[in-house]
Amino acid sequence: MRVEGVLRASRANLLGLLLLPWLGFADVSQAQAPPAAGPPEADPAPEPTLKMLLAYWPDLDWSKPAPPGARAPSKDPRDLSGIWRQAKAHLYLQPDEGAAPNGWAPYTPEAKGVFMHRLRMNFEGTPVAEALVYCRPIGVVRGLTFPIPFEIIQQPGQIWQLFGEGGTRVIYMDQQHPKELKPSYMGHSVGRWEGGTLVVDSAGFNDKTWLDMAGSPHGEKLHVVERYAKSSDGSYIDVEIIIEDPDFYTRPFTIKTKNIWHPELEIPNYHCEDNPRAVVVKGVTTYR
């Protein structure tokens, strides 16, 4: 999938490198760098505010539907197969409980410290090296909220979910979590149908992934419950993601995503290990 986008962005290098292979799926303008948050002040740096954070890691609008004439989706609520893309990319996981988002995720004081360090390093132009940029799998929460499509393939007893940025998971429909789970990037997932809603329970994660682009941390106690409810016309799936990790968050919190049917897309051969490096020409970051 050849990309011919040009990013205006020194600040968005990290985001740009990760998103570049996907820009073919959306207007390039949607993924351009957000307005600068301003240079860091003299030491000590001020505590980043939520406003600064959301200016840096905004929710991107990817709600464009499938093009006219695209293959129609199945209306069967239990048929989730196909390619889906988030209507809104959550680069920072604001909890979605209640009518209005209430800002910060409910970090424990220690988790808030870790998060603020990551945020500050980004603001200062020296982002913390994270697992995803070293080609590790994306993790479940970030895979579901990252602005890239995912594919669902249903097999007897198993639902496979392939994330375009890297990371494959299987949801076992006929078993429970084993007693001993070796921690992994994508964890271990079991699912069941509650009427037309798929409920997925995941545990057994390692602590190496980030929950979002901004750097929300988690540990090995991360427990994720997802509820997939397909719209009556089949054109989108509402996914509710409940995140629980008592070591990093003071309470469970919920992220809601809407995932739009996109039969015209495919999960391409994206190989992080061969990720073409950005080239900076006259101050403009381009893609070779």
Partner 1 sequence: MMAVFSPDYVRPAARRLLCAIAAAIACCGLLLGASEATAASPPDFSGYWRALGSNALLKTREAQAPPLRPQSLETYRRNIAARAKGDLGFDSLYRCQPPGVPRALTLSPFRILQTGEQLMYLFDWNQVKRRVAVNGSHSTADDPTFMGEAIGTWNEGVLVVSSTHFNDRTLLDDALPHSESLEIVERIRLVQPDVLEDVITITDPETFDSPWTLVLRFGRLPATAPWVEDVCTDRITTLLTVDAK
Nearest-angstrom CA–CA distance, 215 and 68: 37
Site for partner 1 in 68-97 (CB under 8 A): 81
Q: How far apart are CA 288 and CA 278, in angstroms?
A: 7
Q: Could you tell me how many residues of this chain bind partner 1 (CB under 8 A)?
A: 35
Residue pair 130/72 in contact (Cβ under 8 Å)? The answer is no
Residue 236 lies near partner 1 (rule: CB under 8 A):
no
Measured from the CB of residue 282, what is the shortest distance to partner 1 in angstroms?
27
166 binds partner 1 (CB under 8 A): yes
The continuous run of DSSP H or E covering 112 comes out as helix 109-123
- Smallest gap from residue 146 Cβ to partner 1 (A): 17
DSSP symbols for 216-267? ----TT-EEEEEEEE-TTSSEEEEEEEEE-TTTBSS-EEEEEEEEE-TT---
In the complex, least distance from residue 235 CB atom to partner 1, rounded to whole angstroms: 19
Position 193 contacts partner 1 (CB under 8 A): no
Q: Does 168 bind partner 1 (CB under 8 A)?
A: yes
By CB under 8 A, name the one of 51, 70, 134, 193 that touches partner 1. Answer: 134
Task: Judge contact between 260 and 63, C-beta under 8 A.
Answer: yes
d(CA 180, CA 177): 8
One residue of 5, 16, 77, 137 binding partner 1 per CB under 8 A: 137
Indicate the burial class of 159 (C-beta count within 10 angstroms; 0-12, 13-18, 19 or more).
buried
6 in contact with partner 1 (CB under 8 A): no
Nearest to partner 1 of 3, 87 (CB atom): 3
Is the CB of 96 or the CB of 207 nearer to partner 1? 207
Chain center to CA of 200? 17
Among 114, 225, 229, 278, binds partner 1 (CB under 8 A): 114
Both tokens of residue 7? 């990013």
Among 70, 129, 279, 280, binds partner 1 (CB under 8 A): 129
Is residue 119 classed as helix, strand or coil in its secondary structure? Answer: helix
Q: How far is CA 73 from CA 160, 250, 258, 263, 266, in A?
A: 18, 40, 15, 8, 15
Is residue 185 near partner 1 by the rule CB under 8 A? yes
108 touches partner 1 (CB under 8 A): no
Draw the binding track, 249-278, toward partner 1 (x: CB under 8 A; -: no contact): -----------------xx-x-x-xx----
Q: Which residues bind partner 1 (CB under 8 A)?
A: 1-2, 81, 114, 128-131, 134-137, 151, 153, 155, 157, 160, 162, 166-170, 184-186, 207-208, 217, 266-267, 269, 271, 273-274
